[in-house]
Chain A
Amino acid sequence: MSSRTLPLLFINLGGEMLYILDQRLRAQNIPADKAKKVMNDIITTMFNKKFLEELFKPQELYSKKALRTVFDRLAHASIMRLNQASMDKLYDLMTMAFKYQVLLCPRAKDILLVSFNHMDAIKDFVKDTPSVLSQVDETYRQLIEMYTPLSSGEFQLIRQTLLIFFQDMHIRVSIFLKDKVQNSNGRFVLPISGPVPHGTHIPGLIRMFSCNGEEVKRLQFRNGGNYTGVLREGSFEMFGERVIKLGTNMYSVSRPVETHMSGTSKNSAQKKSVNTAPNPLAKEELNMLARLMGGMEVQKPGNADSGFRVNLFATDEEEEEALISRPDEFSYDVIKIQATKNQQANAELVKIMGDFTEEAGEPCSSSANSKGDDLLAMMDGL
C-alpha cells in the first residue's frame, strides 16, 4: 500500500525499544557508563546515514520476520546481550506499544507527532554526545521533509498499512492492563469520551440550508459519548509542544515490563495470512535486508569484562521458563543474515555472530525456512 511507511515503523519501534532497554538497564543497576554506551551505540546504529538512506527509499513494508531480524541486530549493536526469551519479550512490547499508539492517534497525521515524541526522547538520550546528536537532527529534517507535505488521505493510507502489519496481534502487556488501556482479551480500549481531534467538531449538530446557502434549521442529537472539547494542534517542527502524549515514555524504574502469553491462544488461531502465505518476493526482501544491514555498522565486541546480559524478566529462572513455555504460534522466525558488501566485513560479522552464539545462548533463532536457507548459502559465498 503506502510506500512511505517503513521509516515511521522503524523509528517508532526503535524508540519504544530504547524506552524499554533504558528502564531495564536502570532496574538491573547496570553502571551508568556502560548503560550510556549501550544507548549511544544503539542510537548511532539506528541513525547511521547509509542505513537511513535505504530506509527512506519508497518501498513496501518488510514482513514481520524481516523486521524482527533488523531489530535483533539493532539490539545487539553494543556490548549488551539478550537471550532469546528476552528479545522475544522486548519485541512483543515494542510492537504492542506502537500498535496502541497507531490505533489511538486522533488523526492519521498525528502518527507524525507520535514519531516526534519518540525522536524528542531519543535526542534527550544522546544530548551529551554531539556526533550522535547531529545524526538525530538530520533524521528530524528528513522526516519533516518527507512527511509534512503529505495530505491527510496519504497519512490515512500509511495508518491503514501499519494496521494491516499489526493485524491480529493481541499480546497482553501488563502496564497496559494496569492502566486499563487494554482489556483482558488483549484488545485496546477505545474511549468514546475526551477531546475530539483537531479539525473535528463534537458530534451532535445538524444544520440544514436553503438553496441560497442560508441556514434554515438546526437540530441537536445525542451523540452517545462524552466528548469534552477539541484538541489543539501539536507542532510538526523540530522543536515544539507535540500535544499528543502517545509515543512518550510510559516506563519508569518502578513500573515493570511484563507480558502475558496465556489466555491469548484463542486469538492466535487466526492465521496471519500475510505472514504465512508463501512469499514470492522473499528473495527480493532478503536482498533489501542485506543491503539495509550492510549499512548497519556493528560494534566490535569488547572483552568479556565490558559485555553484559540484560534480562527483560525479573529473574533468570523466569526468563528460562518463558522461553520453554512460549506458544509456537508466537515464536518469531528470525533470518540469520551474514550477507554484506565485502568479504572483510562479512568475516567480522561472522565472528560477531559466532561470539553471540557461543556466549549468550541463541539471540537469533535459527529456524529460517528452507527458502531462506538456500539464499543464505548463496549469500555466504559473497
Chain B
Amino acid sequence: MYHKEKSIQMKSSASALYNNLSVLRIAPRSLTYFTVVHANMVNMVSASWDGLNYSHRQLQSKEANVATSSSLIMQAAWCVLPSRDILVLTSQKGIQMYESDGSIMVYWHALDTPETQTAQAVFARGIAAVREKYICVGISSGSMLVFDVPIKGSNITLSEVLEEHKESITDLASECSGSLECIADMVSADDSGNLCVWKSGEDFQLLNKIPDKAIEAFCSSVKLWKGTVVAGYGTGQIRLYEAVTGIVHAEVNAHARWIYSLDIAPFSGLLLSAAEDSLVRVWHLTMTPETNSVEIVHMYNECVTDTQICGAKFCDGDGYAFAVTGYDLSEIIRYTQV
C-alpha cells in the first residue's frame, strides 16, 4: 500500500517521547514542515515538495533568568487555527509559542516550579488547537491550561485552567473532522488511562469522563474524529469510544509494546498507529450513523527495523503519505502510497 521514500536527515536524533513528530503542510508554498524533539531542543526541517530544498532550524527550550536552558522539552506541535498556525513547545519549565516557521517567539508561560525538587516531576505535555481560537496545554499535575489566541500578534492570554485530571496529562486532541455538528471539541488523556471529553467555549465544559477499568492502563496518544475517541495504550491496545457516552465501539490488540503515536487522516478516515515494537500500522475507520457504529479494519504494516518508533504522522489530510521518527534515529522516514 505504501513504499518508502527518501528520508529527511535531521541535525540530531529523536528522543524517546510520545507523539514525537509534528507535521505542518503549507500548500501555498509547496512546503512541509516537520518538528522532532531532541532533549532540550527541537529540530525543525522544512522540505519542499519537489524534494530539492531542505532547510533546518533548531529551537531551544527556555527558562526564566537563564541564557541557555537545559530543561527538557516534552513535546512540540503545530496548532492550526483559522487565521494562523502556532508552533507550541512544552518543557519542564514552561510553554513556548512561536510563529509557524519558528522564527519569532510570541508567547512564554512559565510553569510553577517548586523551590526544592519534589518527587513529582513538573512539566507540560499535551498540545491541541481547539475550534477557532484556543490552544490547550496539559501539565504534569493533571491541570490543563486554555489559552485564548488572537487573530494576530502576541496578545495571547490564559483564559482558563481546567482541573479535572488527577494524574499527568499525556496527550490532548481536538475534533479533526472539520465538522461543526460534533458536540465534543476536545479529548484529554492522563497517566492512569482516564479520558475526559470537553466542549470548548468561554468556559470549557466537561461532557464526559471515560475511566479506565484496566489496572495497568496508560493512554499515551489520543485522537478525536467525528465524535469518536481513538486511544492508544501502553499495553499495545487501541480502543475506539463514542466521545459523549463513553460506549466502546472497538478494541484492537494492535501492538506488542507501548503505543507512542496515533494520527488520523480526516478526509479518508485512515488511522496510523506506531509503537516501541518497531511497527507502524495503517487502519481504516468507517462510521455508520444509522446504526451508530464504527468499524475498524487493518490495512497495512510497515516494520522499521530495530527502531523504537516515537512519532508517526500523516503528511496530508487524505493519508497519501506519512512520516515516522524513532529513538536514536537522526532521520525522518517517509512513505507514500503506491
Residue positions of A touching B, CB distance < 8 A: 1-4, 57-60, 103, 106-108, 151-154, 156-157, 159-160, 163-164, 167-168, 170, 183, 187-190, 192, 196-197, 199-211, 213, 216-217, 219, 221-225, 227, 270-271, 273-274, 277-281
Report the stretch among B10-18, B25-33, B129-137, B174-182 that lies at the interface. B10-18
Q: Is B298 an interface residue (CB 8 A)?
A: yes
Q: Is B117 an interface residue (CB 8 A)?
A: yes
Central interface residue in B41, B92, B235, B249, by most chain A CB within 10 Å: B235
Residues of B within 8 A of A154 (CB): 191
Report yes or no: B256 in contact with A160, Cβ–Cβ below 8 A: no
Report yes or no: A190 in contact with B308, Cβ–Cβ below 8 A: yes
Number of A-B contacts (CB under 8 A): 181
Q: List 16 contacting pairs A-B, 8 Å CB cutoff, sorted by A.
A: A103-B308, A151-B218, A159-B16, A167-B38, A183-B306, A190-B305, A190-B306, A190-B307, A207-B251, A208-B293, A216-B293, A222-B301, A223-B301, A225-B303, A271-B12, A277-B68
Q: Is B159 an interface residue (CB 8 A)?
A: no
Central interface residue in B39, B92, B295, by most chain A CB within 10 Å: B39
Q: A59-B117, A206-B297 are in contact. Are A156 and B72 (CB under 8 A)?
A: no
Q: Is B123 an interface residue (CB 8 A)?
A: yes
Query: Do most interface residues of chain A lie in helix, strand or loop, or is the interface mixed?
Result: loop
Q: In the complex, A4→B121 CA distance in Å? A: 9
Q: Is B119 an interface residue (CB 8 A)?
A: yes
> Which are the 3 A-B pairs with shortest beta-carbon distances?
A153-B191, A221-B298, A201-B253
Which of chain B's residues has its CB closest to A269's CB? B330
Residues of A within 8 A of B68 (CB): 277-278, 280
Residues of B within 8 A of A204 (CB): 253
Partner of A60, one of B69, B117, B248: B117
Report yes or no: B167 in contact with A270, Cβ–Cβ below 8 A: no
Report yes or no: A168 in contact with B16, Cβ–Cβ below 8 A: no
Report yes or no: A219 in contact with B297, Cβ–Cβ below 8 A: yes
Report yes or no: B252 in contact with A280, Cβ–Cβ below 8 A: no
Q: Is B258 an interface residue (CB 8 A)?
A: yes
Size of chain B's interface in residues, with CB distance under 8 A? Answer: 66
Q: Measured between C-beta atoms, what is the minimum distance from B176 to chain A in Å?
A: 22
Q: Is B185 an interface residue (CB 8 A)?
A: no
Which of chain B's residues has its CB closest to A4's CB? B119
Report yes or no: A58 in contact with B117, Cβ–Cβ below 8 A: yes
Q: In the complex, A1→B220 CA distance in Å? A: 16
Report yes or no: B66 in contact with A280, Cβ–Cβ below 8 A: yes
The B17-49 residues at the A interface (CB cut-off 8 A) are 17, 38-41
Report yes or no: B254 in contact with A203, Cβ–Cβ below 8 A: yes
Over the window 224-256 of chain B, the binary record of Cβ atoms lying under 8 Å from chain A Cβ atoms (1 yes, 0 no) is 000000000011110000000001111111111
Q: In the complex, A205→B253 CA distance in Å? A: 5
Report yes or no: A164 in contact with B278, Cβ–Cβ below 8 A: no
Q: A163-B327, A208-B295, A273-B41 are in contact. Are A203 and B306 (CB under 8 A)?
A: no
Report yes or no: B192 in contact with A151, Cβ–Cβ below 8 A: yes
Q: Is B277 an interface residue (CB 8 A)?
A: yes
Report yes or no: B252 in contact with A205, Cβ–Cβ below 8 A: yes
Report yes or no: B170 in contact with A164, Cβ–Cβ below 8 A: no
Report yes or no: A2 in contact with B121, Cβ–Cβ below 8 A: yes
